């Protein structure tokens, strides 16, 4: 019997924008994957199910213990927390310390039930992740995003061990080894799992797919590959129906035009006969009245048919709303001159690998920066823009670099989307800016949303729009830009980067995404 139920859930933002409406469902499969476009409300729904946010209306009923992994969106969210606090185990560590000091209470014993060896297992996990000189009381900001993510997941899977677990984008920031570890944990988990992800490798593990769109929640009792095939069939069927309705409208309009021409011709002929006096006036008036009645009846029927076709078209367009084509427009000059952008001579990073760097980067290089979590990929990018000083060696930069970090720190949450882009991109007017925003899904009044209400994926698309349009000669430093993006947006971003005439250094752990981008060089830390 299902133990997690939702009844008539609705949620809207403070400004009145409705995120979703009247959702009812029960969790039945062992592993269920929730998919959907950026901004459709997946993370908000997860927060509501985890009882960390109140719905606008509706209720959630859960009869078992529930654990929740919240996706990491904010670079500062764990900066001032210890590792124990950041991974949700501070009460357990405190209970262990208290008992070691002789404070044996019922509460402490309850907290430590099943976790008496926590300290040993925690140290083993730190060792597995390659961290040095860290304890549960060390600040979490000294860990990489991938290391902190794995520790949070480790705490849920092996220490807290809830009956139902909700994971919101758990593979973001994980390297290949970490993702493999996560897949193993998912399979070994004894309870039910609701997985929110855009990661194809993880989605293949699910037994059932749920899709959230502006039209509601659709449950597909099938594997991810079968769901993709079904979606393609549904979209093709809708497009065929829409094309049929459009053709019917064209035929109706053509018939109406022909009828108007015939009516005008008969009216001209009648006027000529009336003027000639060859027909009695009574007969001419009767013919005119009959013609007017027929025309009125035909007009009403045509209007009724036109109304039916218009309603059908609107309904089909609404269903196809989720398949609207999007595109990332990367600003670039017509011709990129080949020149040296960066030169590193015996550079040693402040954090991560301590092997000296010696390499050069040119304006048209497309470089994949690879390496395990904690090796210093983000540190290297921040070093290139002089945010973090080098530990040793010399760094030369001959061109403006634009850094897109994985936490969207360049976005001003208090500004609207339109204001965010125009603040950075002084060369763009409002019309051009609105066109750019429409191309990534922010149409009409959506440009006046404040950035604070955006999902992680929407923020990443906005940030990508900003850094790629600051100026046409930009050399981009992209730190996991595919994190948080939905499947369609990942594909579109990969296509845009592949056709980009300028250069970039790309950090990504998604092998499908990297292959699609088509990098011509690789640096491995």
Q: Pick from 423, 419, 424: which is nearest to 434 by CA?
A: 419
| φ, ψ of residue 103 in degrees (nearest 5) | -90, 75
- DSSP assignment of 464-494 equals HHHHTTS-TT-EEEEESTTTT--HHHHHHHH
How much is the pLDDT for 40? 87
How much is the pLDDT for 62? 93
How much is the pLDDT for 100? 84
Length in residues, the chain: 525
- Output the pTM of the full model: 0.75
**CB-side neighbour CA atoms (13 Å) of 95:** 18
How much is the pLDDT for 404? 84
Residue with tokens 């089909």: 316
Inter-residue long-range contacts of 427-433, CB under 8 Å, 24+ positions, other chains counted? 427/471, 428/469
Q: What is the largest CA-CA distance in the chain?
A: 122
181 neighbors 154 (Cβ within 8 angstroms): no
How much is the pLDDT for 465? 84
**CB-side neighbour CA atoms (13 Å) of 99:** 19
pLDDT in tens, the chain (525 residues): 678 999 999 999 887 888 999 999 999 999 999 998 888 899 999 999 999 999 999 999 998 999 999 987 654 555 688 999 999 999 988 888 888 888 888 888 888 888 889 889 999 999 998 887 888 888 888 888 888 999 999 999 999 999 999 999 999 888 888 999 999 999 999 999 999 998 888 999 999 999 998 889 999 988 998 998 888 888 788 888 888 888 888 887 887 777 777 766 766 766 666 666 666 666 666 666 666 666 666 667 777 777 777 777 777 776 666 555 556 666 655 566 788 999 989 999 988 888 998 989 998 899 999 988 888 898 999 999 999 999 999 999 988 888 888 778 889 989 999 999 999 888 889 998 998 888 888 888 889 989 888 887 788 888 888 887 876 667 889 998 888 788 877 888 888 888 888 889 999 988 888 888 989 899 998
How much is the pLDDT for 75? 47
* 46 alpha carbon, distance to own chain's centre: 15
Burial 364-403 (b: 16+ CB within 10 A, else e): bbbbbbbbbbbbbbbbbbbbbeeebebeeeeeebeeebbb
Separation between Cα atoms, residue 112 and residue 216, nearest integer Å: 42
How much is the pLDDT for 35? 93
Residue with tokens 């990367």: 330
């Amino acid at each position: 019997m299902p133990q997690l139920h939702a009844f008539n859930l609705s949620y809207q933002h403070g400004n009145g924008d409705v995120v979703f409406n009247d959702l009812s469902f029960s969790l039945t499969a062992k592993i269920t994957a929730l998919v959907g476009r950026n901004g459709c409300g997946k993370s908000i729904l997860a927060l509501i199910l985890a009882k960390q946010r109140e719905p606008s209306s509706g209720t959630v009923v859960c009869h078992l213990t529930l654990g929740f992994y919240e996706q990491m969106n904010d670079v500062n969210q764990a900066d001032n927390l210890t590792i124990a606090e950041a991974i949700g185990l501070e009460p357990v560590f405190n209970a262990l310390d208290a008992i070691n000091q002789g404070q044996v209470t019922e509460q402490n014993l309850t907290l430590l039930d099943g976790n008496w060896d926590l300290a040993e297992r925690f140290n083993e996990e730190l060792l597995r992740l390659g961290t040095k000189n860290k304890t549960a009381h060390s600040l979490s900001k000294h860990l990489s995003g991938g290391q902190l993510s794995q520790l949070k997941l480790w705490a849920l899977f092996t220490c807290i061990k809830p009956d139902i677990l909700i994971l919101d984008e758990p593979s973001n920031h994980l390297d290949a080894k970490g993702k493999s570890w996560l897949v193993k944990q998912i399979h070994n988990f004894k309870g039910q799992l609701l997985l929110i992800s855009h990661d194809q490798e993880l989605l293949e593990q699910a037994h059932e797919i749920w899709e959230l769109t502006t039209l509601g929640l659709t449950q597909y009792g099938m594997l991810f590959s079968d769901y993709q095939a079904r979606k393609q069939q549904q979209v093709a069927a809708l497009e065929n129906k829409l094309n049929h309705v459009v053709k019917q409208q064209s035929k109706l309009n053509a018939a109406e035009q022909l009828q108007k021409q015939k009516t005008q011709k008969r009216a001209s002929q009648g006027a000529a006969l009336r003027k000639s006096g060859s027909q009695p006036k009574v007969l001419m008036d009767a013919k005119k009245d009959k013609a007017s009645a027929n025309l009125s009846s035909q007009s009403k029927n045509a209007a009724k048919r036109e109304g039916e076709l218009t309603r059908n078209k609107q309904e089909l367009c609404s269903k196809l709303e989720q398949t609207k084509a999007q595109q990332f427009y990367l600003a670039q000059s017509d011709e990129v001159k080949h020149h040296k952008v960066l030169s590193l001579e015996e550079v040693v990073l402040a954090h991560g690998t301590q092997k000296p760097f010696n390499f050069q980067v040119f304006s048209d290089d497309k470089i994949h920066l690879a390496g395990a979590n904690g090796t210093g990929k983000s540190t290297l990018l921040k070093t290139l823009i002089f945010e973090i000083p080098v530990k040793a060696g010399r760094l030369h930069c001959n061109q403006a670099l634009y850094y897109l970090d994985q936490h969207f720190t360049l976005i001003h949450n208090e500004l609207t989307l339109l204001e965010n882009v125009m603040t950075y991109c002084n060369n763009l007017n409002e019309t051009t800016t609105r066109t750019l925003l429409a191309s990534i899904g922010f149409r009409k009044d959506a440009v006046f949303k404040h950035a604070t209400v955006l999902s992680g994926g929407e923020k990443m698309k906005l940030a990508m729009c900003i850094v790629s349009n600051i100026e046409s000669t930009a050399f981009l430093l992209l730190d996991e830009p595919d994190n948080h993006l939905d499947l369609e947006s990942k594909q579109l971003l990969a296509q845009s980067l592949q056709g980009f005439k300028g250069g970039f250094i790309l950090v990504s752990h998604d092998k499908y995404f990297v292959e699609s981008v088509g990098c011509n060089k690789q640096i491995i830390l």
